[in-house]
């Protein structure tokens, strides 16, 4: 596993880590085969598989499965706590980013995670107006003084919000949407973060599963399907590009997910990509991208040609 500095924190993280937004999801009659991969034992196995592959950063949130993701992560990691970095998020469900709410939610997360500290506590998708309210910083200050939080971060709605935070030196880490189809963060946010020593976690690096390798131009998505939120532009055009990317990955002996993640971690300023996973084999496939490391210049430009019709980086 390739590792890199986590901003100015002094920590080192696996360049492909584990986003646990799917950890703890219940079985569903609409998803055949769920019974075998939605048990508590299976979820613990997924986390341990990530550890075996060299992953040392795990990102969760108190809203994921109403706290079940945190509970399972805590159960799986309690005997390996010293070996890992745990990030969680607060405020998404309550839409309350006031200091007292942050402290209360952090205390609840600590209990579910079975730990005495959260390495990275992040506000979860606040608006810029929420961020301009300075009270949230008091909540982080109190938690840091108590030794319950090491670093502060924000999972932002847009790169511009992350830039606002970095310019004011308000955070140690920013989490931002970044994948081959949503690349705007590389223009300004990533260079600024690298210069300032602010860590960057890239969420949704597989475009809500569209870059997992399972989908292509023959795929159909009903109204309300979660994957629809991953589309950029016309779905037919994007799915056609996904077909070409899949062919490229297979011709190089890898998977589409591996190609997409290696594209993400090629960018200076990215500390770690945090893809999700539904099965152990997904965890291992994602980790292989971290072991392979960033794309070569030639392969990177080929991806750019497919996605943007231009060989320019």
Catalytic positions: 64
In sequence order, the 6+-apart residues with CB closer than 8 A to the CB of 207 are: 179, 180, 181, 182, 230, 232, 260
Whether 237 contacts 228, CB under 8 Å? no
Q: What is the DSSP string of 220-239?
A: ---TT-GGGGG--S-HHHHH
CA pair distance 79, 71, nearest whole angstrom: 14
Beta bridge partners of 3: 14
CA angle (282 as vertex; 258, 268 as ends), nearest 5:
35
Whether 43 contacts 76, CB under 8 Å? yes
Helix (H, G, I), strand (E, B) or coil at 247: helix
Helix (H, G, I), strand (E, B) or coil at 7: coil
């Amino acid at each position: 596993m390739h590792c890199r500095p986590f901003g100015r924190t002094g920590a080192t993280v696996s360049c492909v880590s584990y986003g646990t937004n799917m950890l703890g999801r219940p079985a569903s009659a609409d998803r055949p085969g769920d019974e075998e991969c939605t048990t508590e034992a299976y979820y613990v196995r997924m986390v341990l598989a990530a550890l075996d592959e060299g992953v040392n950063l795990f990102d969760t949130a108190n809203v994921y499965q109403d706290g079940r993701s945190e509970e399972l992560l805590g159960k799986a990691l309690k005997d390996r706590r010293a070996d890992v970095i745990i990030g969680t998020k607060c405020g998404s469900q309550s839409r309350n980013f006031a200091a007292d709410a942050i402290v209360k939610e952090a205390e609840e997360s600590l209990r579910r995670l079975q730990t005495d500290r959260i390495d990275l506590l992040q506000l979860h998708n606040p608006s810029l107006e929420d961020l301009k309210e300075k009270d949230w910083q008091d909540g982080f200050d109190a938690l840091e003084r108590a030794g319950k939080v090491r670093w502060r971060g924000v999972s932002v709605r847009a790169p511009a919000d992350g830039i606002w935070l970095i310019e004011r030196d308000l955070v140690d880490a920013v989490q931002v949407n970044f994948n081959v189809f949503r690349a705007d963060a590389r223009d300004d946010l990533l260079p600024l973060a690298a210069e300032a020593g602010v860590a960057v976690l890239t969420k949704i690096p597989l475009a809500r599963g569209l870059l997992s390798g399972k989908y292509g131009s023959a795929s159909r998505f009903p109204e309300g399907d979660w994957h629809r939120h991953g589309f950029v532009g016309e779905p037919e055009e994007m799915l056609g590009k996904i077909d070409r990317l899949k062919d490229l990955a297979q011709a190089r002996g890898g998977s589409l997910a591996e190609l997409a993640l290696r594209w993400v971690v090629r960018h200076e300023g990215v500390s770690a990509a945090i893809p999700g996973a539904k099965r152990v084999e997904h965890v291992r496939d994602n980790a292989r991208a971290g072991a392979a490391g960033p794309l070569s210049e030639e392969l990177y430009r080929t991806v750019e040609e497919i996605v943007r019709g231009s060989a320019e980086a």
